[in-house]
Amino acid sequence: RPRERFVAEVNARLATSPDQDIFIYVHGYKVNFENPILVAAELWHFIGYEGVFIPFAWPSRMGRLDYFGDTESARYSALYLREFLEFLADETTARRIHILGYSAGTRLVGAALHQLALVNEHRTAAEIRERLRLGNVILVGSDIDRGIFSTYLMDGLLRVQERLTIYESPRDKALGMALLAFGKNRVGQLDPSDLTPAAREFLRSSDALSLVSITNAPGYDAGNGHSYFRDSPLVSSDVLATLRYDLTPGKRGLSQDPATGVWEFPVDYLSRLEGAIFEVDPDLARRAREGAATPDASR
C-alpha cells in the first residue's frame, strides 16, 4: 500500500544517511506542482543530500488574482500538514523533523503547529517534543497576520517545536501588497521598532523564538524582496546552516541587538559561519584545507 511503501522508502534513506533528520519544505502561493519539488531538491543538494527532504504540496493556483482563494486553501490544508507531521513522527525512524515554510505556506505551518499545540495541551512541552520530534521550524516571507500569530503564541505554539526562527524584512513588496489587501500587518515584515518592551525582553532571553532581521544581508531586497531566502547568499547560508547543523543564531555568527533582542547579519558573518561549521564538521574542514592546498590544474 502507498503508506507502507512511502514509510519504507523514507526509513531506508534515513538508514543510509549520517543525518537521521527529515526536512519539509512548504511552498507559497501562485506556483505549480513542480515548484516545491524543484526547490526541495535544490535545498537538499545544498545540505549535502543528508537525511530526507520532502516537499509538501498544497493546492495553490497560478493566477495572480487567485491569492485570496489560495489563502483559504492554505487554511484548510493545515489539517493535512498536521496529520502528515503526526504520521512521520509515528511511522518513521527520523531523529527529528524540521520545517521550512515560505510566504503563504507559512499560513499552513503556523496553523498546523497551532493545531498540534491545542490537541496536545494536556502534555508538557517535553512530552510534546518527545512525541512529535519537531526540531527547527523556519518561516521566511511569512504572510501570517500578526494578530493571528499572537493568538498562536498564547495557545502554546512555542511548546511544539524546539526552535522557531522568523526572518524579517521591512522591504518585502509582496507582503506590502498583502498588507494593502488585508489592512493588517504581516509577521514577515516586522520592524524592530514595532516590538513592545515585553516582546523585546522575551526575545533577549528566549531560546525558543528567534527573529532575524535581514536588512544587512546583500541581495535581500532583490526583485520584489520576497524570495530572499534563495536570492541572498547570506540568508540562504543562514537557513541551510540552521537546517543542516542545528546551530543557534549566535553560533551561526549572527549578532543580537541588545536593545531589541533581534538578530542581525554582521559584516564578518560569512567568516563566523565558516568557523562555526568547521568546528562542528571537522571532516568538511579537512576537505576544505586539502582543496585549498591542491594546485588548480586548469591554470
If one compares 232 and 30, the residue with the highest pLDDT of the two is 232
pLDDT at 296: 62
SS3 83: helix
Which helix (H) or strand (E) segment holds residue 251: the answer is helix 249-252
Cβ–Cβ under 8 Å, residues 101 and 108? yes
Mean pLDDT for the stretch of residues 173-199: 85
CA distances from 99 to 109, 133, 166, 188, 274 (A): 8, 11, 12, 16, 23
Burial class, 185, CB count within 10 angstroms (exposed 0-12 / middle 13-18 / buried 19+): middle
- Which pLDDT band holds residue 96 (cuts at 50, 70, 90)? very high
Please identify which residue in the block is written with the cell numbers 498588507. 179
pLDDT in tens, 151-181: 999 999 999 999 999 999 988 888 888 877 7
Mean of the pLDDT values across residues 92-117?
96
28 vs 110, which has greater pLDDT?
Answer: 110
**Triad 30, 173, 60: Cα angle to 5°:** 10
The share of the chain scoring above pLDDT 90, in percent, equals 72
| For residues 13-31, average pLDDT | 93
Q: What is the mean pLDDT of residues 59-70?
A: 76
Q: Which residues contact 156 (CB under 8 A, 6 or more apart)?
A: 117, 118, 121
Q: 137: which strand partners?
A: 99, 164
SS3 label, residue 96:
coil
Assigned C-alpha cell, 86: 503526526
The pLDDT, as a whole number, for residue 46 is 93
Collapsing DSSP to helix, strand or coil, 139 comes out as strand
Q: How far is CA 61 from the centre of its chain?
A: 22
Model confidence at 144: pLDDT above 60: yes
- What pLDDT, on a 0 to 100 scale, did the predictor assign at position 89? 98
**pLDDT, average across residues 175-193:** 83
- What's residue 145's pLDDT? 92
Contact present, 52 and 13 (Cβ < 8 Å):
yes
Q: How confident is the model at residue 202 (pLDDT cuts 50, 70, 90)?
A: very high
Across all residues in the chain, what is the average pLDDT? 92
Q: How far is CA 177 from CA 131, 182, 183, 277, in A?
A: 39, 9, 9, 37
Longest dimension (CA), the chain: 65
pLDDT of residue 298 exceeding 60, the answer is no
pLDDT of residue 261: 96
Mean pLDDT confidence for 67-83:
87
Average pLDDT over residues 127-153: 96
Chain center to CA of 216:
19
Q: What is the pLDDT of residues 30-62, one digit of tens each?
A: 888 899 999 999 999 999 999 999 999 988 877
Mean pLDDT across 52-77: 84
Residue 129 has pLDDT above 70, yes or no: yes
The CA distance from 25 to 10, in Å, is 16
278, pLDDT greater than 90: yes
Burial 280-298 (b: 16+ CB within 10 A, else e): eeeeeeeeeeeeeeeeeee
Name the CA dihedral angle for 236, 242, 243, 247, rounded to a multiple of 10 degrees. 150
Q: Tell me what the mean pLDDT of segment 12-25 comes to.
A: 95
Question: Strands 22-26, 52-56: parallel, antiparallel or unpaired by DSSP?
Answer: parallel
